[in-house]
Structure 1
């Protein structure tokens, strides 16, 4: 039953975003009573986190498949940025749910979920470490998060078209340019 509910919630988010997630509709699609949602999941936050965990896994697998560790570190940063855009553009609602979901006031995401989010930064950390040999620990993690944030900001604003309408190919060109400039600026290999 839990799997059927999770699949139904995943479809609802993929089709209509977080606003499309309604417990009654999820239960109906899964073929169960409304109460089953709250038997399988503590609340809607827990259901969203379970869907988002699957999205994080899919995004991480996509980044891993797109990774080019043999490439020059600058090219690796550009490849990761483009892979991030590819995933976000193809799975826009699921991707957006990762960033739009907010836990109920006074509650934090569980540790398992925070750890899963942190897994995404491994790719950025690897690329930054190749550009900045010797950098490690909190410094490496912080710089990788900043690099990820820059890419995410370009992708998010571009896909949401908040500043101006932008065809995806133009967004892709600009993202490549910015990712390459950022990577070259970080490059301390001499």
Structure 2
């Protein structure tokens, strides 16, 4: 493939990701349509499939961007001098604010259907691991006697707890709390971590 055609292909790939990101942010993942993306990116419908295998692959590329932004929001929310529980609370609050400000993009991280015949790409798994690594450090400080498997399980449990509170609260589910109380609920739950 010539350099010019590689460049055009890469430019089309970028336009499609940008168009998909705008549409997911505005309308949600379930409303993502190839015909709309082709129009937005200024290409033929078939040209999409010369660059991406399917819409899922485009959504995954958008999710890669979202994971990076989420990681930045969480990773810059603390200075490292906080006690471990306080750091977990600060990071969880950053997670909540990111989810609230980027609701459709955040939901797409968890709503994307993974195919049975294809593995989850390493870069996607690594993005999630990066998020978990922020949680793991204060967890290790709080529970120094846990072995690696138990530490990983505790890290995932804390993430799942906060994610559940945020999800139920932002979706205004009957089992959630009003949005203005989500932060307080997270603080109540996490402030009891490590209390013996």
TM-score normalised to structure 1 length: 0.90
Structure 1's 106 and 19: CA in aligned 2 closer, same or farther, altered over 3 A?
A: same
After TM superposition, give the deviation of residue 60 of structure 1 in Å.
0.2
After TM superposition, give the deviation of residue 138 of structure 1 in Å.
2.1
What does residue range 11-90 of structure 1 map to in structure 2 within 5 Å?
Answer: 11-90=22-101
Question: What is the match of residue 140 of structure 1?
Answer: 151
What does residue range 75-114 of structure 1 map to in structure 2 within 5 Å?
Answer: 75-114=86-125
After TM superposition, give the deviation of residue 168 of structure 1 in Å.
2.1
**Structure 1 gap ranges (5+):** none
Q: Deviations over 1:36-55 (max 9, x none)?
A: 21111111111111000100
The answer to whether the Cα contact below 8 Å between 1:68 and 1:79 also exists between their aligned partners in 2 is no
Partner Cα distance (1:9, 1:130) in 2? 40
Partner Cα distance (1:43, 1:100) in 2? 16
Partner Cα distance (1:114, 1:38) in 2? 24
> Could you say what the CA RMSD is over the residues aligned between the two structures, in angstroms?
1.7
Q: Deviations over 1:128-174 (max 9, x none)?
A: 01212254522211110111111111111111112257432212211
> How many residues matched?
185
The answer to whether the Cα contact below 8 Å between 1:85 and 1:155 also exists between their aligned partners in 2 is yes
Partner Cα distance (2:69, 2:121) in 1? 20
Q: Deviations over 1:59-90 (max 9, x none)?
A: 00000110231001111111111111010000
Partner Cα distance (2:175, 2:152) in 1? 32
Structure 1's 169 and 184: CA in aligned 2 closer, same or farther, altered over 3 A?
A: farther
Q: Write out the 4+ residue segments of structure 1 that deviate beyond 6 Å after TM superposition.
A: none
State the SS of the aligned residue for 1:82: helix
TM-score normalised to structure 2 length: 0.88
Greater mean alpha carbon deviation, residues 105-114 or residues 116-125: 105-114
